[in-house]
Structure 1
Amino acid sequence: MITHTRFTIADSYALLGSLCVPGVQGKFEVRSFTDRVKRPRLIVVHENWHKAARRERIAPLVVVQFEADGRKNCIEQTDKTPFKDVDLADLSRRAVEFFHRNEHGTLACHH
């Protein structure tokens, strides 16, 4: 299980955009790990990550890591989240779309 503190998310992951999911209150954020250029890593977290306690660990719902050979490794994590009914494959696909739009300079926040 991949987890981060709220400080790691705030300091190391740039916001690419926000997604709404029918039936879930609030938005999901697509964030890109700022220190990885050649092999980007994206995470999808609920916007309530800001409210986590100081030492609380936050498990992104989705982690997408691009490998050196161009493959995408999508890790879907539902074990420690309250969002059991969210279509994680759709979140993965939409996160990658945000990344590609941002990469080409045409991304605006998408609700």
Structure 2
Amino acid sequence: MITHTRFTIADDYALLGSFGVPGVQGKFEVRSNSNRVKRPLLIVVHEDWHEAGRRERVAPVVVVQVEADGRKQVIEQKDSDFAKTMNLADFGRRAIEFFQRNEMEHGVQCHH
């Protein structure tokens, strides 16, 4: 299972957006690895990731690897806290939507 420390998430992943899920307190964040350009890496984490202990590992609910040719590989983290009660396919879809929306907005800004 892929995990990160809260420091890695804070330092290496930019917030793209957040969404709520009925029945779950708080929001889920879609974050993009700032160091990856050719093959973007997205994660979906619950907003309480920043409350993790200094040595505690945070497991994203979903990890999405966008390949150079545009294919998207969605890794559903079956051992994450939310996997047992939620449809993780929806999390992957939402991550991709936030990423594409961000790319479109960034592309428009670059052309002005």
Do the structures match in fold with TM over 0.5? yes
State the match for 2:12 in structure 1.
12
**Cα distance in 1, alignment partners of residues 80 and 18 from structure 2:** 21
Larger RCO, structure (CA 8 Å, separation 6 or more): 1
Give the match's secondary structure for 2:105. coil
Alignment check: 8 A CA contact 1:21 1:86 kept: no
Q: 5+ residue gaps in structure 2? A: 107-112
**Larger Rg over CA atoms:** 2
Shift of 1:83: 4.9
Percent of aligned positions that are identical: 72
Give the match's secondary structure for 1:50. helix
The residue type paired with residue 50 of structure 2 is H
The residue type paired with residue 84 of structure 1 is K
TM-score of the superposed pair, with normalisation by structure 1? 0.90
State the match for 1:54 in structure 2.
54
Query: Is structure 2 residue 102 aligned with structure 1 residue 74?
Result: no
The residue type paired with residue 65 of structure 2 is Q
Shift of 1:82: 4.4
The residue type paired with residue 96 of structure 1 is I
Q: 5+ residue gaps in structure 1? A: 107-111
List 4+ stretches of structure 1 deviating above 2 A.
none
Give the match's secondary structure for 1:105. helix
The residue type paired with residue 38 of structure 1 is K
**Cα distance in 2, alignment partners of residues 84 and 9 from structure 1:** 23
TM-score of the superposed pair, with normalisation by structure 2? 0.90
Q: Which has the higher helix share?
A: 2
